[in-house]
Amino acid sequence: MLEVRIEGRSYQQPVLGEVFASIKRGDRICLLGPSGIGKTTLLNAIAGLDTTLPGGAVIGRENLRIGYLFQEHRLLPWRSLLANLKLVGVGEQDAKSLLGQVGLAGCEDYLPDQISLGMARRAALARCLAVKPDLLLLDEPFASLDPVMATDLKSLISSLMDANPRMAMICVTHDGADAEILANRLWYLDGTPARLHWDDRVGESGLIDGLLQRLRCKMEGA
C-alpha cells in the first residue's frame, strides 16, 4: 500500500539514515526509539509534510487518505469541535457520531481550549477518523495523559483498528508496553543517523516480546 524509500534526511545534523520499509493494509505498527532519534521526522515524511524529500521517497501516498494525530491536538482553537471536524469534509451528522464514538457526545459546541488535554486528543482522533483514513499516524498519543485516560485511549484505538481491518496504523511511542497491546509489527529507530529495524513476525506471541526484550537491554546499556 505504501513504500518508504528515504535515503537520508538532515536538519543541521543528519537525523535519518536510509529508511526502507513498506506498509500494508491492516498493519499495526508501533514505532519505537529514544527521543530525538527522528520518529516524528519519519512520520512527517510519510504524511507528506517534508517537502525537502525527493519525489520518490514515499510511493503510493497520493491515493491514500491519511489521518494524523499530532503530538499536540492541532484543532483550530477558534472553531468548535464540530466545526473542526466538518472542516475535513464530513457532514454534521457524521461529525456528531464520530465525536460520540470517542466519548465526546454533547461536547460538539465547545472550543478546543475549553476542554481537557485528553478530551482534545480524542477530538483530534475523531478528526483523523473523519477522513476515513487508509493510514492512521499517531504521534505519541498517550504522552502526558494520566494512566486511566491513556488506558482508555489505548482500548479505543484497539477497537477502532478491529472495526476497520483494512486500515493501517503507525503509532509512535516510547513505551514497549503500548506496543504489546497495539502492534502486530514493530519498527525501531536506532543509531546516528537513525536506521530502521523491524520485526514482522505477526501474531506469534512472544516474538515481539523478544525484540522488546533485546531493545530494553540495549536502551539500558546505552
Closer Cβ to another protein, 74 or 197, answer by number: 74
Beta carbon nearer to another protein, 90 or 215: 90
User: Which of these, 183, 122, 128, lies nearest to 156 by C-alpha position?
Assistant: 122
**Contact predicate 104/125, CB 8 Å:** no
Which three cell numbers, joined as nine digits, stand for 119?
478530551
CB of 197 to another protein, least distance (A): 27
Q: Give the interface size with another protein as a residue count (CB under 8 A).
A: 24
Give the C-alpha separation, 36 to 17, whole Å: 14
In angstroms, give the least distance from the CB of 193 to another protein.
23
**Shorter beta-carbon distance to another protein: residue 50 or 200:** 50
Does residue 30 contact residue 187 with C-beta atoms inside 8 Å? yes
Q: Which of 131, 150, 156, 181 binds another protein (CB under 8 A)?
A: 131
Query: Which position among 49, 59, 177, 202 is part of the footprint of another protein (CB under 8 A)?
Result: 49
Which residues in the 51-90 window bind another protein by CB under 8 A? 66, 68, 70, 72, 74, 76-79, 87-88
CA distance 78 to 57: 35
Among 26, 34, 48, 60, which residue sits at the site for another protein (rule: CB under 8 A)? Answer: 48
Is residue 47 at the binding interface for another protein, with CB under 8 A as the rule?
yes
Q: Is 43 in the site for another protein (CB under 8 A)?
A: no
Contact between 199 and 32 under an 8 Å Cβ cutoff? The reply is: no
Q: Which range, of 45-53, 154-162, 171-179, 190-198, touches another protein by CB under 8 A?
A: 45-53
Residue the block writes with cell 499517531: 138
CA–CA separation, 118 and 101 (whole Å): 15
Name the residue nearer to another protein (CB basis): 117 or 150: 117
The answer to whether residue 119 forms part of the interface with another protein (CB under 8 A) is yes
Q: What is the three-class DSSP state of 86?
A: helix
45 class by beta-carbon count within 10 Å (0-12 exposed, 13-18 middle, 19+ buried)? buried
Q: How far apart, in whole angstroms, are the C-alpha atoms of residue 1 and residue 119? A: 32
Interface pick for another protein out of 103, 110, 175, 190 (rule CB under 8 A): 110
Q: Please list, in sequence order, all residues whose beta carbon lies within 8 angstroms of the beta carbon of residue 44, skipping any fewer than 6 positions away.
A: 50
- Using CB under 8 A as the criterion, which residues of the chain lie in contact with another protein when the complex forms? 44, 47-49, 66, 68, 70, 72, 74, 76-79, 87-88, 110-111, 113-116, 119, 127, 131
